[in-house]
Amino acid sequence: MKLPSDIVARISRRLVDHAGLELPAWIIEARASVRMAKLGLAPDSYIALINTARGASELAELVEAVRVGESSLFRHKPQITALVEAVAPALAARGHRAIRVWSAGCAAGQEPYTLAAVLSRALPDWPLQIHATDVSTEALTAARAASYPVAELDDVPPEYRDRFIVDDDRVRVHPELVRMVKFELANLLEAPRARHFDLVWCRNVLIYFSEDARRRAVERLVGATALDGFVFVGYSETLRGFPDLEARTSGEATFYVRMGTAQRATPAVGVPEVLSRIASSVSPPPSFPKASKHELRVPPAVPSPPAAGHSVLVLVGTPTVADLTQKIGEHLSVEGLQRFIIDLDGASLLDDELAPVFRRAQAVTRNARIELELRTTRAGTRRWLSRHGLGGEEPVA
């Protein structure tokens, strides 16, 4: 069902007000139209429903439908290495006490179980408590089951394989790790404010929030972190500029330490100014692409026109997150699309912050049964794709 732009905008506003989620219009249109068809409701009737108390369950279903909760065991190796080489020794130096971790936006549980595996091995004599939250009931049900396709084991390093149990075509998390993790249904913007976590892990969550929601979410994340505690966010997200946080690097990973008042390297500023700095430093949400001096374009003369049901996007120059998101949305909105090709060879530089955009496109096209090909003939680009789990080939050592 093709939805009018004003209907999509009204649904988008409802998602922002309810959960702070600010997503590309094409995701909202695709998911909402499926929900309307299932309920047999016209667009106006559907909007009326999700704006009333009796429509709370349907609003929850819509949030579930638009949520793109990609995750996997031992994802983002540089940050995991930083946990072992920088964070664990720092925590051990503080003396023997329980270590408290918050995994915010935990999806189906792979990230908190990975944290449990890594930290319990790095700090074997320290009690470990992991609080994992997500807005999705479906994701939390999967998380509590602690069972995944056996292919998930492929990315688990050999030294951690004993933390998982292979059972035919499934891999189960060791019961010892399962006991360390407590799951809770919670909206990051509305959940009770937890405090004094030694480690806060919130990857690729802020990119889905509106500007105001990001400010509130970051305030909550930082407020929940103990002094000298550590905060990890996604590669395309940044908390630079917040006076209570100091950026640190370990290998290829950047993370943040919450500093005490006496430790601050910069003078204190008021909360409004702090939040303004955060809003300007966090990558803009995908649904609000901004103008850029770099463009993505399809050359005016294509040697052979795409077949019916096919669409081709050619990247040129140095694409930005906003550019790429906008163009992917335009191509995926084509009615009857069956195959979508993104040609990467014309891009002179692919920034790491583009990887989550490609991953979201993969998830959306997979759900919509559209074939997506990230096409390249360049070895360097294939290595970039492989490094970010997007296909390609194994990087050359």
Confidence label for 281 from pLDDT (cuts 50, 70 and 90) = very low
Lowest mean pLDDT among 40-49, 285-294, 334-343: 285-294
> Which residues, including other chains, have CB under 8 Å from residue 346's CB and lie 6 or more apart?
314, 315, 316, 317
Q: How would DSSP label each residue in 319-348?
A: --HHHHHHHHHHHHTSTT--EEEEE-TTBS
pLDDT averaged over the chain?
81
Query: In this predicted model, which residue has the larger pLDDT, 358 or 284?
Result: 358
Closest-CA residue to 218 (of 136, 289, 139, 283): 283
Confidence label for 262 from pLDDT (cuts 50, 70 and 90) = very low
Average pLDDT over residues 232-246: 80
CA dihedral in degrees (341, 345, 349, 351; nearest 10)? 30
- Residue corresponding to tokens 């995908």: 286
Average pLDDT over residues 267-271: 38
Residue-range domain boundaries for the chain: 5-66, 77-281, 310-387
Q: What is the pLDDT of residue 298?
A: 41
Using alpha carbons, list the distances in angstroms from residue 241 to 197, 212, 290, 361. Answer: 21, 17, 22, 30
Rounded to whole angstroms, how far apart are CA atoms 50 and 60? Answer: 9
CATH says 310-387 is which class? alpha beta
pLDDT at 293 over 70: no
CA dihedral in degrees (52, 106, 355, 243; nearest 10)? 90
Q: What is the pLDDT of residue 308?
A: 64
Q: What is the pLDDT of residue 392?
A: 63
Q: What is the pLDDT of residue 79?
A: 92
Lowest mean pLDDT among 19-23, 37-41, 121-125, 359-363: 19-23
Architecture of domain 77-281: 3-Layer(aba) Sandwich (3.40)
**The amino acid at 162:** D
Task: Look up the pTM and report it.
Answer: 0.59
Per residue in 149-199, pLDDT tens?
Answer: 999 998 899 999 999 999 889 999 999 999 999 999 888 877 656 778 999
Fold identical between 77-281 and 310-387? no
